[in-house]
Amino acid sequence: MRVDQLSGRGAVVTGGGGGIGRSIALALADQGMDVVLADVELESAERVRDEIRGLGRHAIAVRTDVSDLADVSALADVSFKAFGDIAVLVNNAGVTWRPYRASWDASIEDFAWIMSVNFWGVLHGHRAFAPHMGRSGSPAHIVNTASRAVLQPIPGHAAYTASKAAVEGFSMAVRAEYAAAGLEIGVTVLFPGPVRTDFASSERLRSAADRAEAREVVPWTSYTRGGTVPTGADSAQAIDPETVGPMVVDAIVQDRPYVLTHPLPEHVTERARLLGAAASGR
């Protein structure tokens, strides 16, 4: 569902306090939208709020832990009360782990933490916002941030890849549901490749009791010759986050199902070949 009119309407961006989230929030504000910045680090969200106000748009900052449905529901209440009409929801908040670690060395708590933010955060956003957006009478759009890791597997990053693959699968099913139900809500999946942000340090956001640094972690590099970083991770192809926001805005306006910040990995072509061979029994 194309959203032809963004100006004067409201948007919510989780993980909006920096990096990709900040870029998307500023790009939406540049289109004349009023923006709610949701972030577990309130001071970061407040800095972006002030930037958007400097552009002449309304903006508020709300501390939000997207892994907590009550927090996201409260965010929805605040957002609709502040701006009435929320036309765009960007479920962007996400976390990763460092050092990279084998799936057999990662703890269940590692997996649970990453899934609680990366996947459950997206689900919470849909549950809290979509019912209201669908009743607004005007086209709306949801953007969910996945990762290029879904398209190009990264050894030592199994939980992150699994969480982002779940985001893609959920998003495309929901996009089909909205269309079949006649709801004027589009859905786009963002696949960021390497982007210059502080995302790699996101384990700082874990509780002291749950933080991976509090226990010994076997790094993935212990299994690789020369201790090399996994292919596709922390690449020299990293781009500045400011370039991502305009890509996302264009996808919203055009109702595109996917946004890729980098060229399609060769692995995708190879996967299609292997699936074709399996389907034909070769």
Distance separating alpha carbons of residues 126 and 66, to the nearest angstrom: 11
Nearest Cα to Cα of residue 145 among 96, 205, 185: 96
> Distance between CA 101 and CA 107 in Å, rounded?
10
Whole-number Å distance between alpha carbons of 23 and 179: 28
Active site (catalytic) residues: 160
Longest dimension (CA), the chain: 60
Buried b (16+ CB within 10 A) or exposed e, 156-179: bbbbbbbbbbbbbebbeebbeebe
How far lies 62's CA from each of 58, 94, 144, in Å? 14, 16, 19
